Structure 1
Amino acid sequence: MFQEMRYRGPSLDELHENYAKQHRIDDAAPFRSTHEVVINAPAERVWALLADPAGWSAFDPAIREVSVAGDGTPAVDTRFTWVNGSAKIASRFAVVEPLREITWTGTAMGSRAAHRHLLTPRQDGTTLLRTEESMAGTLLGLVYNKAKLHAELTRWLDSIKTAVEQS
């Protein structure tokens, strides 16, 4: 437990450039989780939701105050800020591959995270959406844990699934 609380992980720039842009999370981070769902819709509809950060609050009420730099369109290295629950997060897109992957890194309250989303179209017209996230930060374990991260990822994907399937 002491090691988990002391692990800071790579710098945010290193996490962004050498992990997220390389299609990976920090496997040494003390807080990691994955979750996946099958969505009864084509990848185009799933992608449209994920690639519209300003619209995330429409399906996830914990998200608000999203501001994306430039024209608001996700692109590699585009910065965005948002509030998720009580945490204000400063993020940057690392991978934007339409219909395949959208990944960002971010920092909030001294923690650093890499969050990947992988879309896999299936032959039956559905889409497998998989997410994986790593979080690290000194003393993060005092206010956060793996179970909470997993619950948040589950809620996030369930919200996306419901929104896509109802549209």
Structure 2
Amino acid sequence: MPNLATLHDEYALHGHIDEDAPVVSASSVLIDASPDRIWGVLADLRAWEGWATDFRLRALDAVEPGREFRWAQKGVPLRSRFAVVAPGRELSWTGSMLGLYRAIDRMVLTREDGRTRVTLEESLDGPLVRLVYGEDNLRAGHEARLSALKDHIESAA
């Protein structure tokens, strides 16, 4: 079970999640918008509460590699650090929950037939993580967030 620093330095900074983690999920959605337009929404974490209903930002200095931010998802406090901040291509971070669970989250944008595919990948590790927060729950949360992102962007067009 890699520690958070290893997950950040050896995985996330190199564009990877921990495929060997007990809980791994990937979901994607096609959005009728350019990568730059989608990036503008993703990189504005202060506005996420307007479309990602389970997201609450608690502290954010800047969206830059190495910068930390604190947030809550469904009321659970999280502490994260940005890994990759590549405009129009990828936003990723590592983080911890309750001091016990460690995660890597990646949102990758790719052009596809005039639209943009947003892929959300995550690896999650920690004691009894499969029982506490299994793959089905993780995937359902990702799909809900991607659906909300798509609706938010396409309804604003």
- So what's the TM-score if we normalise by structure 2? 0.95
Structure 2 matches for 1:34-73, cutoff 5 A?
Answer: 34-69=26-61, 73=62
* Alignment correspondent of 1:140: 129
Q: Distance in 1 between matches of 2:58 and 2:33?
A: 26
Amino acid at match of 1:30: P
- Give the 4+ runs in structure 1 shifted more than 6 A: none
Inter-CA distance 15–49: structure 2 relative to 1 (3 Å threshold): same
- So what's the TM-score if we normalise by structure 1? 0.89
* Alignment correspondent of 2:86: 97
The superposition leaves residues 81-135 of structure 1 with CA deviations (integer Å, 9 ceiling, x where unpaired) of: 00100210000000001001110010002100000011012342x1111111000
* Alignment correspondent of 1:5: none
Whether 1:79 and 2:68 are equivalent positions in the alignment is yes
Amino acid at match of 2:84: V
Q: Distance in 1 between matches of 2:148 and 2:123?
A: 20
Q: Distance in 1 between matches of 2:67 and 2:154?
A: 29
Amino-acid identity (%): 35
Q: Distance in 2 between matches of 1:54 and 1:47?
A: 14
Unaligned runs of 5+ in 2: none
The one of 120, 126, 131 equivalent to 2:110 is 120
Task: Indicate conservation of the 8 Å contact 1:79/1:93, yes or no.
Answer: yes
Please give the secondary structure, in 2, of the residue aligned with 1:99: coil
Please give the secondary structure, in 2, of the residue aligned with 1:75: coil
Task: Indicate conservation of the 8 Å contact 1:53/1:66, yes or no.
Answer: no
Q: CA offset at residue 61 of structure 1?
A: 1.3
* Alignment correspondent of 1:161: 150
Amino acid at match of 1:49: V
Amino acid at match of 1:75: E
Task: Indicate conservation of the 8 Å contact 1:81/1:91, yes or no.
Answer: yes
Task: Indicate conservation of the 8 Å contact 1:54/1:66, yes or no.
Answer: no
RMSD (Å), alpha carbons: 1.1
Task: Indicate conservation of the 8 Å contact 2:23/2:129, yes or no.
Answer: no
